[in-house]
Amino acid sequence: MYEAFFHLKETPFSIAPNPHYLYMSQQHNEALAHLVYGVGRDGGFVLLTGEVGTGKTTVCRCFLEQIPDDTDVAFVLNPKLQVEELLATICDELSIPYIGDSITVKDYIDCINNFLLKQHSKGRHTVLIIDEAQNLSPDVLEQIRLLTNLETHEKKLLQIILLGQPELQEMFRQPELRQLSQRVTARFHLNALAEEEVGPYVYHRLTVSGAVDPRAMFPAATIKKLFQISKGIPRIINLVCDRAMLGAYAKETRVVDGTILGNAAKEVLGYKVYSPAPVIARHKWLPIAMGSGVGVLLIGIIGLSYWFGLTRQEDPVVAVTSALAEGPPAALAQPPELKSPNAPPPSPAGMQPDNTTSAAQPPAPLQAPVANATAQNALSMAQAFEMAEHTQDADAYQDLFSAWGVQYAPATNGMACQYAESLGLGCLSKLGSLGSIKHYGLPVIIRLFGAQGGEKYVVLRKLEDNYAEVYLEGEVQRVNITDLDSYWRGHYSLLWKKPPSYHGPMHPGTIAPLSKWLAYHLDVWENKPEPSAGRSTYDPELVERVKQFQRTVGEVDDGVVGTGTLIQLSRRVDDSIPVLDPIKGGS
C-alpha cells in the first residue's frame, strides 16, 4: 500500500524468510558458516538455535541457495510428527517411492537407505533439515539418531541440521540424549541484534527494496527507540517498522519519527507489551534506597551504642556522621573506575608481533591483587552471582576491555563492538561449553542466570581446574566454579585481535593480503629465524602449513582460515594478547 509513496519496489519489512533481505551481521555470518561447515563434514548433527524471530529460518534459506549442485535436501517444516510420519515426509521430500498405507518403519528405513547408497555411488550428498526441532518427541529424536547410522565404511550417508529455539539445547543436555549430543559436529546460537546493528539492519532492508535515502526515513533517534521497543529481535523490528511506514503514509510524511513508531508498536505489540526504556527507570530508586540504607545504619549504630554504654565517650550521631564523612560503608561504595594502562595498547594494525608489551607493561588488571587467593577462601557461585554488578553485557565490556589493558567507558566510547573495531579488535559471541572457552583461551564475558530468574554478566580472567578468576566489585576474585552449570547456559562473548586485512574466512586459492599476514605469523610460530610475509596467494603450500597448525591446536584441519584459526595463531605469537592460561611450548 505504501510502497509507491516511498518509491519502493516491494515491501521492505515482510516477515517471510526471504534470503535476499538477510542482513549478514557478524553472528548471522557465523551461523551461515556453521551450516556450510557442518554439511562439509561426513555425517552428524548441526544445531542452529535462537530465540523466536532472530532469523534462524532466514539463515537456513540463504544456506539453501548456496548448497552445491551435488546435494539433495529434505526440508521438514512440521516436526510434530510420529516416527512413521517423519520417515514418510523424508521420503516425499527426497522423491523416494514407497507403496502402500501399511508400510512399517523398517520398510521406510530400507527405502531411505537404498536411496542414500545410490546417491553416494553417484557422488551426491544428502542433507535433512528440520525446523522448529524443539518440538520433536523423544521417540522421533531417537529415530533421527538411528538415521545417522546409515553409513558406508568411509562416511555417514546423511547429514542432519536441526533448527530450533533455546529449548533444543536444553534437550540435548539431558542424560538420556547423550548419545545424540555426542554426534553434534557444530553448534551455534543466534542472539538478538545488538543496538548498533539495528540501524544497519533497517537500512539494509530499505536499500534492498529500493530506498534511495533510508537514513532520512528512519532517523537515528527513531532507530534508538526501535531498539528499546524490539530488544533487537528482527521479527519484531519488521512488524513495527512495517506498521510505522503505514502510519507515516497515512500522515503523508516520509519520515518515521518517534511518535509514529510508538503508535505502531502499541498497535502491533499491545499496550501492555510495549514498555520503551526500562533502563532509565531502574536508577530512579537508587538514591532513595541508598538514603534509606544509611538511615537504617545510623539508627542501628545509635541503638547499639546506647545499649553497650558507648555514649559515655562521644555523641553517637556525631561519631557516625564523622565516619560517613570519611567515606561510605563498603557495601555502599561504588566500584572503582577502570584505570587506563600507563602506555596505550599495541596497535593491532602492525604485522610485526609485539613480544615486549607483556613483560614491560602488563595490562592494568594484572597489577591488582587477586582477592581470596586460596582455594579455602574462594567464593561460591552463589556468592559470585550476588556480588556481580553488571545486569547488561554492555556494562561488562568495561571489565573485558580492562583485561586487554584498554580503558572503556560506554558513555564516552560508544558501543563496545564499534569501539573494538576502531582498535583493531573484533567481538565474538558463542554458545558452548567451558571446554570451548578454554580452547579459545581468551578472557570472556559469561551470562549467568539466578534462581529467581535474574541475569548478570561477569568476566572470566583466568581458568584453572575448578576455579576461575572473575572481575567482581572492581577487583579480581577467585571463584569455585564446580556448580557453574546451575547458573550458566553456555552464552559467552570475547574480544579477539583481528589481522588488519581480515574481512572474512579465507579459503584455499584465495588471493588476499591476509595470506601475507598468515605466512609471516606462521613463520613466527614455527620459530623461523627470518619470518617472511610470503605472497598474496593462499597457495597449496601455505594451505598445508595451515592444516598442520590447525591439527596441532585442535581446530578442524580444513585449511579454511576463519575466526578460530586466527585466534589460535594470534594468541600464540602476540604477547600483548591476554590469555586465560599460559600457553606452553609451541602448542
Quick one: 357-497 is in which CATH superfamily? Answer: Cysteine proteinases (3.90.70.10)
Does domain 514-573 correspond to CATH entry 3.40.1620? no
- Residue 261's pLDDT is 94
Say if CB 497 and CB 521 are below 8 A apart.
Answer: no
| Residue 131 DSSP class | S
pLDDT (0 to 100) of residue 316: 37
Report how many helices (DSSP H) and strands (DSSP E) the chain contains, helices first.
Answer: 24, 11
Q: How far apart are the first and last CA of the chain?
A: 61
Q: Which residues of 124-137 are buried (b: 16+ CB within 10 A; e: fewer)?
A: ebbbbbbbbbbbbe
Instruction: Give the Cα separation of 168 and 50 in Å (integer).
Output: 9
Query: Tens of pLDDT along 42-100?
Result: 667 888 888 888 888 888 888 887 777 888 889 888 888 889 889 989 998 999 887 66
What nine digits make up the cell of 519?
605466512
| Residues of the chain where predicted confidence (pLDDT) is lower than 70 | 38, 40-43, 99-102, 271-376, 582-587
Task: For 431-477, write each residue's pLDDT tens digit.
Answer: 778 888 888 999 999 989 887 778 899 999 998 878 899 989 888 88
CATH T-level topology, domain 26-190: Rossmann fold (3.40.50)
Q: How many CB atoms lie within 10 A of CB 450?
A: 14
Name the percent of the chain lying above pLDDT 90: 26
CATH code for residues 195-276 = 1.10.8
Q: What is the structure's pLDDT at 526?
A: 92
Helix residue spans in 409-534 (DSSP H): 410-413, 416-422, 434-440, 514-525
